[in-house]
Chain A
Amino acid sequence: SQQGEEDPQALSIQEGENATMNCSYKTSINNLQWYRQNSGRGLVHLILIRSNEREKHSGRLRVTLDTSKKSSSLLITASRAADTASYFCATLASGAGSYQLTFGKGTKLSVIP
């Protein structure tokens, strides 16, 4: 079963604009990870944010986490055509013996040159 829900399902923006994607989840987590996927093949890890963190940055990426609302957001600033891909959030549930990531269905981002 899939825990996360990304919103929106699809997003189309002009190059240079910012893109914001949201993720909601249902259970308590140890950490939340964002991935990018091109053409339905391998996933590229973007950022991991732990449950005791509220915000992380990596280059043009900014991730926030609100555990009280069970939600996270991914902001891509100054988007480029090469950012066109599907973006997934994945949660690692808290609790002993749980190491599987649970993914949402993803947000399909199109950046128009």
Chain B
Amino acid sequence: GAGVSQTPSNKVTEKGKYVELRCDPISGHTALYWYRQSLGQGPEFLIYFQGTGAADDSGLPNDRFFAVRPEGSVSTLKIQRTERGDSAVYLCASSWTGFDEQFFGPGTRLTVL
């Protein structure tokens, strides 16, 4: 079956611009997660959705970052007024419940010039 998909695979933007990153989870998975990975580091948690609601957004670095999952399936991570420090690979994952293995998408590499 289809795995987690993310679009775009690469995004180059200029400092100060707005970007949206999309995640399409595995069908039926109610839990969805966003992580961010910098070069040479492990992924760092950003936000967790259970259904349509953000159950834990404690990893979002500041209020420039926002994520939605309006129908409990596809999610969009939105970054306003991008900064060079936002450059990283943004990973999305989904799972059946919050206690199960998380299946990751291929990531979106964001580069802020």
User: Which residues of A are interface residues toward B (Cβ below 8 A)?
Assistant: 2, 4, 30-31, 33, 35, 40-45, 48, 88, 90, 92, 97-106
Contacts and interface: CB of A to CB of B under 8 A. Distances in A.
Contacts, number: 67
A2 B41 contact: yes
Interface residues of B, number: 30
Given A97-B56, A103-B43, 5 more contacts: A2-B41, A33-B102, A41-B107, A88-B42, A101-B43
Contact of B42 (A48, A97, A98, A103): A103
B105 A42 contact: yes
Given A42-B104, A43-B43, A99-B48, A30 B99 contact: yes
Contact of A2 (B42, B50, B91, B101): B42
Given A97-B55, A99-B98, A106 B42 contact: yes
A110 B84 CA distance: 31
Nearest to A2: B42
Given A33-B101, A45-B102, A100-B48, A40 B56 contact: no
